[in-house]
């Protein structure tokens, strides 16, 4: 665990140096901030969501750099604790994806909402755009939990007037062929589906950031 944390610190420092020294002034610098779904759990290098999304956008002529700040097992509490140093100066926008592990652990949705609220507020205070990515509570948590958890993302998107992509695993969650053997995480093909589905929302998000940079 200490090795993974140390490696992540190094990756953040490298990303910060890249943002500060090699990116063109016109490049949109994004950070994919989340848990194992963002980190690319058990996937080879280059097959994670941020990496494949960057490739897809570049193929469409979008000048973008997407850093991977996903940490497997992270909750919104962990995300809040690291949001300031995990998102380097020079970042234009964050794709914020957290909450799945909160739901799996039965963390009170009110706590999840409070943590996400604080993260969005801190990013906006820094002038960093946010694309909020929603999650759904697993069915085994029951209807009452879902009724409290699922609306969190829409509420926060409306409160802070940030764009919302409703469900990160759209198109993947019900298709076993798109998931790893654990039945929870997307495989490389699943990531392709996720990228294809979210790409229009990210393109629109980048458009709003680009207009602010001019």
Q: Is 1 helix (H, G, I), strand (E, B) or coil?
A: coil
Annotated catalytic residue 9: no
Question: Of 85, 41, 58, 72, which is closest to residue 179 (Cα–Cα)?
Answer: 41
Task: List phi, psi (to 5°) of 28.
Answer: -90, 120
Structural contact between residues 84 and 91, judged by C-beta atoms closer than 8 angstroms: no
What tokens were used for 59? 């193929």
CA distance 40 to 46: 9
What tokens were used for 78? 């962990």
Structural contact between residues 75 and 107, judged by C-beta atoms closer than 8 angstroms: yes
Catalytic residue among 26, 144, 177, 182: 182
Annotated catalytic residue 36: yes
Catalytic residue among 15, 36, 65, 86: 36
CA distance 148 to 188: 32
* Bridge partners, residue 31, by sequence: 67, 94
For residue 72, give every residue at least 6 positions away whose Cβ sits within 8 Å of its Cβ, in sequence order, or none.
35, 36, 39, 41
Catalytic residue among 35, 74, 86, 185: 185
CB atoms within 10 A of CB 71: 21
Q: Is 64 helix (H, G, I), strand (E, B) or coil?
A: strand
Annotated catalytic residue 182: yes
Q: Which residues are catalytic?
A: 36, 182, 185
């Amino acid at each position: 665990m200490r090795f993974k944390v140390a490696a992540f610190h190094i990756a953040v420092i490298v990303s910060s140096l890249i943002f500060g020294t090699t990116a063109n002034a016109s490049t949109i610098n994004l950070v994919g901030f989340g848990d194992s779904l963002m980190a690319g759990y058990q996937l080879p290098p280059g097959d994670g969501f941020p990496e494949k999304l960057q490739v897809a956008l570049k193929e469409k002529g979008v000048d973008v750099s997407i850093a991977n700040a996903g940490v497997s097992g992270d909750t919104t509490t962990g995300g809040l604790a690291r949001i300031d140093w995990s998102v380097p100066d020079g970042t234009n926008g964050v794709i914020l994806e957290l909450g799945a592990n909160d739901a799996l652990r039965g963390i009170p949705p009110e706590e999840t909402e409070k943590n996400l609220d604080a993260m969005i507020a801190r990013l906006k205070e820094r002038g960093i755009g946010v694309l909020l990515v929603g999650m759904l509570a697993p069915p085994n948590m029951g209807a009452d939990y879902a009724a409290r958890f699922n609306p969190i993302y829409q509420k926060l998107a409306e409160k802070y007037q940030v764009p919302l992509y409703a469900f990160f695993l759209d198109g993947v969650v019900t298709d076993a062929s798109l998931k790893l053997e654990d039945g929870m995480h997307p495989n490389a093909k699943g990531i392709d589906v996720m990228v294809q589905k979210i790409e229009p929302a990210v393109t629109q998000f980048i458009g709003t950031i680009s207009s602010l940079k001019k």
